[in-house]
Structure 1
Amino acid sequence: MAFNLINEQLSSRREQGLYRSLTSISGHQGRLLTVADKSYLNFSSNDYLGLAADPQLIQAWQKGASLYGVGSGGSYLVSGFNQAHDDLCEQLKSWLGVEAVALFSSGYSANQAIIKLLLKKNDLLLQDKLNHASLMEAGLLSESKMQRFKHNDMLHLASLLAKPATQQADKLIISEGVFSMDGDCAPLPGLYELAKKHDAWLMIDDAHGLGVLGNNGKGSVAASGLENNNLQIYMATFGKALGVGGAFVAGKQTLIDYLTNFSKPYIYTTGLPPAMVYTIAEAARMAETEDWRRDKLQVLIATFRETATGLGIRLGDSNTAIQPVIIGDSLKALEVAEKLKKLGFWTTAIRPPTVPVATARLRITLTANHEELDVVNLSKAIYRVLNDK
C-alpha cells in the first residue's frame, strides 16, 4: 500500500509540472555553469558576492586542512570545538556587533533548533506567510500555537498581537530579512517596534541579507537602521553570500548558553569541519572589507531591472540580488526555463509548494561574477522566449 501511495504521489507531481530531479554540475560555482559538457551563464546561484570559487578561499581551505585536518572529530561539546571555531565566533561577534554566537551545520538545522527549543505549549509563534520552509515546518512540529501574518503586513501582525488571548503568552515573531523566493525585504523597524510594544521576541533569518546588505555587509537589519544586537535572535548562513556552508545563531550570551545546554540539534551534531570554518572566517573577512563586490552587485541589479522592465517583463518587487520573473503556470515556467537553457542561460523554475499556487517563476539570481552585458543579454533572451521570437 505504501508503495502505491509513493507511485501515485510521484505521478501526480509529474502531471502538474511539479516533479523535481537532480542535475549533476561539473566544476565549480561561478559565472559559467557546466552541465553535460555544455556551459551556461549561471543565473541560479546564491553565491551573491562571487566567493564560492575565489582563489583566496581555496587557499584558505587548503591551509585550514593543513593546520587542523579535515574532520572535527566529534560534536562541539565533546571534542569537536576547535580553535578555528572559537576564532570564527569571535570574528562574527566583532563584525556583526552581537554578544554571542552558536555554529550550526545548516540554516535548516539552526531554525529548527531555535523553534523547538524556545517555544512551549502555551507560547505563540507569529510568522510571515512567506517564511522559509525550515521555519514553517519547525513551527508546525512545535507545541506552540503558530499564526501566520500576511506578507510584510504590519497591520495584520499588530491585530494578532493585540488579541486578548495573546497577552499572557510568551511570543516570538519571525521573519526573513530578505525573502528567498521574492527578493523583497522585511519592514524591520516596524517588526522591531511591534515586538517591543507587545513584549515579544524578534528573530530575523538573514540568510540572503548577510554580506549583501548594510554597511560592511552586516545584513538587512543594519541596512534598515537597526543593530543586530537590537534583536533577541539573529540567524544567518555561510552558504549564500559567503560562498561556503553552515550557519549561525547570534544573541545574548544567556541565549547561546541555553542552546549549548539544551538544544539537541546543537549538542548531538558533529561540529563543522575546522578547515571549512577556517575558510568561513576568511570569507567573512572578505565580505566585510571588499565593498566593491556589493557595489558591482548593485549596478547589476539596477541594469537588469531597467532592461527587463523596459522590455515589458513582469518582475517581482525586489531590489536585491534575487529577481523573480513571474510566470504563473508551473508547466509554462518549466518550458521557459528549458528554452532559456537552449539559448545558453541557466535559470531555475520555482514552483509550488515552494511558492504559492499560480505564482511559478524564474528565480533569477545575480552575483558579483556577472558582467553588465550578461544581464542585458539575459533580459533580451527572456523577452524572446516569453514572446516566441
Structure 2
Amino acid sequence: MSKILDAFLNENLQNLRDQGLYNEIDAVEGANGPVITINGKQLINLSSNNYLGLATNEELKQVAKDAIDRYGVGAGAVRTINGTMDLHVKLEEKLAEFKGTEAAISYQSGFNCNMAAISAVMDKNDAILSDQLNHASIIDGCRLSKAKIIAYNHSDMEDLRAKAKEAKESGLYNKIMVITDGVFSMDGDIAKLPEIVEIAKEFDLITYVDDAHGSGVTGKGKGTVKHFGLEKEIDFQIGTLSKAIGVVGGYVAGKKNLIDWLKVRSRPFLFSTAVTPGDVAAITRALQMIMDSTELHDKLWENGDYLKAGLKKLGFNIGASETPITPCIIGDEKLTQTFSRRLVEEGVYAKAIVFPTVPKGTGRVRNMPIASHTKEMLDNALAIYEKVGKELGVI
C-alpha cells in the first residue's frame, strides 16, 4: 500500500474512534426478524427497516424460489438489452397501481433512484430546493445533476416559500425542483406535502418526494403522498423496495412521459444489470399483499405507538416522531455509542446513529419496531431501556 494512503487511513480511522464516530458492523447470523442472533447471542431487534416483517415472510420466500426455478438467479443483462423479463413489466405495472400513477420504473436500489432520476431531469441551468434533513442519496443525486442546490430549513414552509420566490424571480434557472423525504428517517416526522404542493403551484416547481420510509407505512401502506391524497400533484414519487416491502430495489412512479424519459436517460437503468427474478417476483407479491390488507400496517402502528409511549413515560427524549420510527436522542456521540453497547449487552439491538448521519451533538439510538414484534418483546426491551438509561444517567 502507498505510504501516504496508509498514513491517511490510520490517522483518520483513529480520529473517528476517538470521537465516537466509528461504526462497528455486526454480522447477523440467520434471518433479520424481530429477534436476531449476533455473536451467538439472541437480541430483540429494534434496528431493522423490515417494517412489515415481510423479509422473512414464508409466502414471499416460496414465490422467490419458484421464480428462480423458472427464470434463474440473475436477469443476465441490463434492462435496455435483454434484461427486461416479463416479471419486470408486471412489477412496474403493480408499482404504478400501488402509487396511483400512470407508470413506474424499477431500479436496483432506492439510492440508485435518486442518483438516476434527479440527474436525468435537472442540470447546471436548473435549481433544486432541498430540505436540510434530506437523505444522503438525495444530496448525492442533487450534486450529480450539477444544478444549483438551495437548502431550506427543515420543514420550514416560510423559508421554502422565500427561497422559491427568490429563485423564480432571479430568472437564472430553466427549471426549479423542490425535493423532500416523505418520512424523515432519523426523526420520524412527516413532510408537509400539502404546503409544499401549494408553494410548488405558485412558483411552478417540479415536485419530488422520496418516500423510502413511507411506502408500506403511511397512507394505509400506500405512502405519504397517498396519506395526503396528492397522487395527482406530485411529479416524482420515489421509494425503496427494501424496507417495508421487505426485498431489495427501488422505483420512480409518475406520468408516463416521465418514466419513458428515465428509461432512456437515467444511467443506473441503462448501465446496471436488472434486479434478479426472485426478488422481482417477491416484490410484486409483497405489493399485492399490502394492497389487499392493512393487517400488517395496523400491527406496525400498534407496536410503534406502544413502544413510543413506553419510552416517553420512562423519560427518554423521543423527539417529534409522527411514525413508528422512534429515536432516543442522547446527544453526546460517545455516550450514545456506550448506550447502544449496553443495550446489546442486556439483550436489545438498537444501533447508535451519530455524525455524519445526524448533526453533531444529536447522537441517538433509533428504534424501529416492526409488525412481527410481540408485546412481550417490546416490554422486555422497555425494561432494558429503563435499566441502561438509569445506569448511564440518560433518564
Q: TM-score range, shorter-chain basis? A: over 0.9
Tell me how far apart the structure 1 counterparts of residues 326 and 143 of structure 2 sit (CA, whole Å): 29
Tell me how far apart the structure 2 counterparts of residues 319 and 116 of structure 1 sit (CA, whole Å): 31
Match of 1:19 in 2: 22
The offset of 1:167, in angstroms, is 7.1
Tell me how far apart the structure 2 counterparts of residues 76 and 166 of structure 1 sit (CA, whole Å): 38
1:350-369 alignment runs, 5 A limit: 350-369=353-372
Q: Are residues 1:199 and 2:204 paired?
A: yes
Which one of the candidate residues 263, 267, 277 is aligned to 2:266? 263
More divergent stretch after superposition (125-134 vs 85-94):
85-94
Match of 2:214 in 1: 209
Match of 1:276 in 2: 279
Match of 1:61 in 2: 64
Tell me how far apart the structure 2 counterparts of residues 299 and 97 of structure 1 sit (CA, whole Å): 26
The offset of 1:168, in angstroms, is 5.0
The offset of 1:257, in angstroms, is 1.2
Considering only aligned residues, what root-mean-square deviation do their CA atoms show, in Å?
A: 1.3
Match of 2:317 in 1: 314
1:296-340: CA deviations, max 9, x gaps?
A: 112112211222111111102113121010000111011011111
Judging changes above 3 Å, is the alpha-carbon distance between structure 1 residues 194 and 245 closer, same or farther for their aligned structure 2 residues? Answer: same
1:240-260: CA deviations, max 9, x gaps?
A: 001000001111111111111
1:1-389 alignment runs, 5 A limit: 1-163=4-166, 164-165=169-170, 168-215=173-220, 217-227=221-231, 229-388=232-391
8 Å CA contact retained: 1:33, 1:39: yes
One-letter code of the match for 1:48? Y
Structure 2 gaps, min length 5: none
Tell me how far apart the structure 1 counterparts of residues 318 and 324 of structure 2 sit (CA, whole Å): 13
8 Å CA contact retained: 2:218, 2:224: yes
Structure 1 gaps, min length 5: none
The offset of 1:95, in angstroms, is 2.3
8 Å CA contact retained: 2:115, 2:144: no
One-letter code of the match for 1:298? W
The offset of 1:57, in angstroms, is 0.7
Question: Percentage identity across aligned positions?
Answer: 36
1:62-95: CA deviations, max 9, x gaps?
A: 1111221111010001010000001111112222
8 Å CA contact retained: 2:54, 2:286: yes
Moved over 3 A (4+): 166-169
1:341-363: CA deviations, max 9, x gaps?
A: 11110010000000011000001
The offset of 1:166, in angstroms, is 5.4
SS of structure 2 residue aligned to 1:313: coil
More divergent stretch after superposition (140-149 vs 195-204):
140-149
One-letter code of the match for 2:152? F
The offset of 1:230, in angstroms, is 2.0
Tell me how far apart the structure 2 counterparts of residues 9 and 212 of structure 1 sit (CA, whole Å): 38
Tell me how far apart the structure 2 counterparts of residues 234 and 95 of structure 1 sit (CA, whole Å): 11
Tell me how far apart the structure 1 counterparts of residues 144 and 265 of structure 2 sit (CA, whole Å): 18
TM (normalized to structure 2)?
0.95
8 Å CA contact retained: 2:67, 2:277: yes
The offset of 1:141, in angstroms, is 3.2
8 Å CA contact retained: 2:324, 2:369: yes
The offset of 1:371, in angstroms, is 1.5
TM (normalized to structure 1)?
0.97
1:124-160: CA deviations, max 9, x gaps?
A: 1111100000111222233210011111111000000
One-letter code of the match for 2:225? V
8 Å CA contact retained: 2:127, 2:173: no
